[in-house]
Structure 1
Amino acid sequence: MNPLRRLFLAAPFALAAFAGQAQAQELSLSEISSYLNQLQTAQGDFTQINSDGTISTGTIYIKRPGRIRFEYDAPEKSLVIAGGGSVAIFDARSTDNPQRYPLSETPLSIILQDNVDLTRASMVTGHSSDGTSTTVTAQDPAHPEYGNIQLKFTNPTQLRQWVITDNTGTQTTMVLGDMTIGGGISDRMFNIIAETDNWN
C-alpha cells in the first residue's frame, strides 16, 4: 500500500522521549476532547515514520472541522489534503492524481470532526499515562474495522504525536514539531479541485 495512503488508513503514534519533564497527571478524556475542540487552526513541521522504516518530513496545516493538509519536503513531491469530506493523495510517482477516499472511513476523521467527544461509548479502547504523557487510542464506535488512531499528549495539554493502524495492522507514525496555534489559514489550501488543477 502507498505509504501516503497509510497516513490515513493506517498509522501508529510515536512520541519523542520527555525524560527531563516532571511527572504529569494523566489527562482526562474530557480534557483532551475540549483541547481538540478548541484547536481550530494550527500549523508546524512533522516527521512521518512509515511502516517500512522510511522517514518523510514536511509541513502540516490543520483547520477544523474536517480539514488537514500535509506538504511533503523534496525530493518526495507529494501532498495529502482532507477537505469537503474527502481525502486526496497527490503523488508524483502516480499518473492518476489525486487518489480520493472518504474522510469518514479513516481514523484521522476522529480528531477532525466538528465535535470531538472521546467519552462516547466504545470510542476509546486505551487510555494511559507514563508520567510525562497521556496516550489515548480511539476508533469509530460504529466502524471499528476502519482502524484506530493512537494520540499522545503532553501536559499542559498539547498534541505531540499520533499513530494510525488500519484493519491489516499496518501502522504509520506522525511526530509533530512545535505547532503555531491559531491564525488564519486560507480555505483554498484544502480545496481538492483547485489543487488538482494546479497539480496538472
Structure 2
Amino acid sequence: MMKRILFTFAVVALAIYAGAATAQQLSLAQISQYLNQLETAQGRFTQVNPDGSQIAGTIYIKRPGRIRFEYDPPERSMVIAGGGQLAVFDPRSNTGPDRYPLNQTPLNVILQRDVNLERARMVTGQSYDGTYTTVTARDPDNAEYGAIQLVFSANPIALRQWVITDDIGTRTTVVLGDLVTGGRIGDILFNIRAEMRKWGN
C-alpha cells in the first residue's frame, strides 16, 4: 500500500514538474519575433479604465501601424490608428476626433514595422511569474509620452494584455481574448478620414 502511495506521489510530482517545465520566461528576441510575425489579428477585448470601470469591444490589428478599437453599445467611442496618426472618436465631441502622431504614443512600440525590444533603452523592466512574461517598454526617443506593459503567455506565444501608463501615471488596461490571426482585414477599417465622414466630421 505504501509503495503504491509513493508511486502515485512520484507520478504526480513528475507531472507537475513537466507542466512547470513547459512554462518558460520568454526572451526579448522571442517576443520581438512574435510581434513582427503578427501581421493581422482580431478578437474581443475588455478595457479597464483608470476609475475601475470596464467596457468591452472588438479589436482589429493590421501591422505595421494600424489598430482599431470598436466599443460595444451603448458606448460609441472608437480608437483608430492609421496613416501615422492615432484618432480618438468621442460622440460627445463637436470638433471631431482628438488626433496624435502614432509614434508619440506607447502603442507605437507594438505597431512599428520592425519591433526590436532588445534595442538600447527601450525595455525598462521584465518579469516572470511562472506563467506570464511581462515586459515594460517605452520609446527611448519619446519617453515623455508614457510606457506600455505587455503581458505574454508561452507555448504558444500570445499577447494577453497590455497596460498603458501615460505621462501623469494614469493606467489603462486592455485584456485580450483569443486573437484570430492571419485573416484578411480591409484597410478601410483604419482610414481615419473615412471614419470622420461617417461621424459627420
2:168 is the alignment partner of 1:187 = no
2:198 is the alignment partner of 1:198 = yes
Corresponding residue of 1:151: 150
* Residue identity in the other structure for 1:170: T
How far off is 1:199 after superposition? 1.2
CA distance in 2, matches of 1:67, 1:51: 24
SS in 2 for 1:178: coil
2:164 is the alignment partner of 1:164 = yes
- Name segments (4+ residues, structure 1) moved above 6 Å: none
Q: Indicate the larger mover: 140-149 or 68-77.
A: 140-149
2:71 is the alignment partner of 1:72 = yes
Which runs of 5 or more structure 2 residues have no equivalent in the other structure?
1-18
Q: Indicate the larger mover: 79-88 or 91-100.
A: 91-100
Q: Which has the higher contact order (CA 8 A, sep 6+)?
A: 1
Corresponding residue of 2:97: 98
* Residue identity in the other structure for 2:100: Y
SS in 2 for 1:194: helix
2:121 is the alignment partner of 1:122 = yes
**Structure 1 residues 113-145: Cα deviation after superposition (integer angstroms, max 9, x where no partner):** 000000001100111111101000000112211
Q: How many residues align?
A: 180
CA distance in 2, matches of 1:128, 1:108: 20
Corresponding residue of 2:3: none
CA distance in 1, matches of 2:181, 2:52: 30
CA distance in 2, matches of 1:81, 1:25: 34
CA distance in 1, matches of 2:33, 2:50: 31
Corresponding residue of 1:46: 45
CA distance in 2, matches of 1:89, 1:107: 15
CA distance in 2, matches of 1:195, 1:189: 8
Identity %: 64
The structure with the larger Rg is 2
CA distance in 1, matches of 2:95, 2:130: 46
Which runs of 5 or more structure 1 residues have no equivalent in the other structure?
1-21
Corresponding residue of 2:8: none
SS in 1 for 2:81: strand
CA distance in 2, matches of 1:143, 1:89: 20
SS in 2 for 1:151: strand
Please, what TM-score do these two structures have when normalized by structure 2?
0.88
SS in 2 for 1:48: strand
